[in-house]
């Protein structure tokens, strides 16, 4: 097992929130608490990370009030989740970086443990969640969830080169490295664990029992 002290957890809350009408997604309430605070609480409850930081580009003081450091993107113009990855790898002082989005407030509490076990077992550079999703025909498919990753910090040079060349898609970058997919479709795994709320309607639906 990877010691929690060797892992920094990074909550990705740096997007534009375009599909939520431009609001700061991480500060939208879910069951009475901001989305980003739900992510923070789940990471801390899971116990797999040494400390947690938030990647955000606005309302920095609000995020800092959660009691953690806030790291804005180094890339300009809301360059997407990969910009958050880059900021995390640049500033991380541990051998591993775990990334989670702010808009999936129900992710599995054993996330870090399972990603870490797979990374070590496969001697991989990256371990990534794969979770059930409904396709357009209503059929369940197991699909990668690239914003849920455990990364070796030594990948910084690779990601720097990729983003300097204009790359912005996570899948395109992770495909360059030994990446292991970790399925979260076992008995007891919630089918909603990795559902991400892109709109306010989806967020309200996720609140329903």
* Domain 4-207 architecture: Alpha-Beta Complex (3.90)
pLDDT of residue 134: 72
Average pLDDT, the chain: 92
Helix (H, G, I), strand (E, B) or coil at 2: coil
Q: What one-character DSSP code corresponds to residue 16?
A: -
Which residue has better confidence, 136 or 105? 105
Unique residue bearing structure tokens 């789940």 = 42
Whether the CB-CB separation of 42 and 109 falls below 8 Å is answered with yes
pLDDT of residue 15: 82
Residue-range domain boundaries for the chain: 4-207
pLDDT, tens only, 183-193: 999 999 998 89
Asked if the model's pLDDT at residue 209 lies above 70, the reply is no
User: From CA 134, how far away is CA 181, in angstroms rounded?
Assistant: 18
Helix (H, G, I), strand (E, B) or coil at 91: helix
Pairing relation of β-strands 7-13 and 51-56? Answer: parallel
Question: Is this prediction's pTM over 0.85?
Answer: yes
The average pLDDT across 9-13 equals 97
């Amino acid at each position: 097992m990877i010691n929690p002290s060797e892992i920094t957890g990074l909550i990705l809350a740096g997007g534009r929130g375009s599909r939520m009408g431009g609001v700061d997604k991480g500060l939208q309430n879910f069951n009475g608490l901001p989305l980003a605070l739900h992510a923070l609480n789940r990471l801390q409850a899971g116990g797999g990370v040494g400390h947690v930081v938030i990647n955000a580009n606005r309302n920095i003081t609000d995020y800092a009030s959660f009691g953690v450091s806030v790291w804005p993107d180094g890339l300009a113009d809301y360059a997407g989740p990969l910009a958050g990855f880059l900021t995390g790898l640049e500033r991380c002082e541990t051998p591993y970086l775990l990334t989670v989005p702010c808009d999936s407030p129900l992710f599995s509490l054993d996330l870090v443990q399972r990603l870490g076990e797979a990374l070590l077992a496969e001697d991989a550079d990256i371990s990534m969640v794969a979770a059930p999703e409904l396709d357009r025909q209503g059929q369940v498919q197991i699909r990668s969830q690239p914003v849920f990753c455990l990364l070796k910090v030594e990948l910084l040079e690779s990601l720097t080169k990729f983003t300097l060349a204009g790359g912005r898609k996570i899948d395109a970058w992770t495909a360059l490295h030994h990446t292991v997919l970790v399925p979260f479709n076992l008995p007891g795994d919630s089918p909603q664990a990795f559902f991400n709320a892109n709109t306010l309607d989806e967020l309200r639906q996720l609140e329903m029992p």
